[in-house]
């Protein structure tokens, strides 16, 4: 079965659709009526998407149908009954610390695989990207945003903390002081500021978002895969290494590339 653009449909369930066309996979949030609000079922589907990628995939594009990328956690989570078949917030709080930790860790898996070294992930973000939606965009390597984008981290305003892996990339991108201000106030960050702060690589008119992402994906695919993988790994590890350690990592990576190009690799 194929989608209208001839991409191969891998699965479509629980608000997530995964399609693959050659080296590009597209993960689409498919509940525009609820502004792509998130739930545990959606998180499990996102985790499955990461596990279902063919080995040929080099680029993963994350997008949301409709006017909003994702308005964050479905407000049903804040009701006493929560989601059908899922523990409510009250149930989670009443459980053991180990059970609570394990449950949050399971939810986080939906946000972790986007930075795999063998992939480059691009979030195409329009409209609202709030709370869990903001964190999902931050989970990707790159972000292309529409001029109507509205980022906001609202968890602190609700008495919670951002716990879906968003704090690390946020601090890495904008610094501690700005990250604290964004999280503690819950204010909106719009397109111009997002680009200025480094939250977005570029901002484009809403009707040009898909085209901008296609151009970026094509540019990323132009370089040899192994060179991109090695470069991404170098850059990901740079913040945790000292200068001399990074020099050594560069030498080792270049040695592997030269041996591979000479036909002497493993």
The secondary structure of 115-169 as a DSSP string is G-TT-EEEEEE-SEEETHHHHHHHHSSEEEEETT-EEE--TGGGT----SS-HHH
| pLDDT digits 0-9 by tens, 146-175 | 999 999 999 999 999 999 999 999 999 999
- Which has more pLDDT, 219 or 77? 219
Residue written as tokens 């397109």?
Answer: 191
Q: Does 99 score more than 70 pLDDT?
A: yes
For CA atoms 53, 46, 101, 171, the dihedral sign is positive
Rounded to whole angstroms, how far apart are CA atoms 82 and 209? Answer: 35
DSSP 38-67: B-HHHHHHHHHHHHT--TT--EEEEEESSS
Query: Options 3.40.50.880, 3.40.30.10, 3.90.226.10, 3.30.420.40; which CATH number does 8-221 get?
Result: 3.90.226.10
Reported pTM: 0.94
The SS3 assignment for 247 reads helix
Mean pLDDT for the chain overall? 95
The pLDDT score that the predictor gives to residue 5 is 61
The more confidently predicted of residues 182 and 85 is 182
The domain ranges of the chain are 8-221, 225-261
pLDDT given at position 86: 87
197 pLDDT exceeds 70?
A: yes
Task: Tell me how far apart the alpha carbons of residues 63 and 70 are, in angstroms, rounded to a whole number.
Answer: 9
In terms of Cβ atoms closer than 10 Å to its own Cβ (0-12, 13-18, 19+), residue 34 is middle
With a cut of 60, say whether residue 181 has pLDDT above it: yes
Amino acid 266: pLDDT: 67
Mean pLDDT of 11-32: 97
Gap between the terminal Cα atoms of the chain:
38
- What the block records as the tokens of 260 is 């591979």
Res. 79 pLDDT band, cuts 50 70 90: confident
Tokens of 61: 């594009």
Please report which confidence band the pLDDT of residue 1 belongs to, taking 50, 70 and 90 as the band edges: very low
- What percent of the chain lies above the pLDDT cut of 70? 98
- DSSP assignment, residue 185? H
């Amino acid at each position: 079965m194929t989608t209208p653009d001839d991409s191969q449909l891998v699965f479509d369930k629980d608000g997530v659709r995964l399609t693959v066309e050659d080296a590009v996979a597209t993960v689409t949030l498919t509940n525009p009526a609820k502004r792509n609000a998130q739930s545990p079922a959606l998180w499990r589907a996102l985790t499955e998407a990461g596990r279902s990628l063919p080995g040929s995939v080099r680029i993963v594009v994350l997008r949301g149908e409709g006017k909003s990328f994702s308005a964050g956690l479905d407000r049903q989570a804040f009701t006493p009954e929560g989601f059908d078949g899922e523990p409510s917030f009250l149930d989670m709080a009443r459980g053991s610390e180990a059970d609570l930790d394990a449950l949050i860790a399971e939810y986080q898996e939906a946000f972790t695989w986007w930075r795999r070294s063998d992939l480059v992930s691009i979030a195409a973000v329009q409209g609202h990207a709030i709370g869990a939606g903001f964190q999902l965009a931050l989970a990707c390597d790159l972000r292309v945003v529409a001029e109507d984008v509205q980022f906001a981290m609202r968890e602190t305003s609700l008495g919670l903390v951002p716990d879906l892996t968003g704090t690390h990339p946020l601090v890495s991108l904008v610094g501690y002081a700005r990250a604290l201000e964004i999280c503690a106030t819950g204010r909106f960050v719009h397109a111009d500021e997002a680009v200025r702060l480094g939250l977005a690589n570029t901002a484009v008119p809403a009707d040009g978002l898909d085209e901008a992402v296609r151009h970026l994906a094509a540019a990323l695919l132009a370089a040899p895969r192994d060179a991109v993988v090695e470069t991404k790994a170098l850059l990901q590890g740079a913040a945790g290494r000292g200068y001399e350690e990074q020099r050594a990592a560069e030498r080792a990576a270049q040695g592997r590339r030269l041996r591979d190009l000479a036909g002497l690799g493993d």
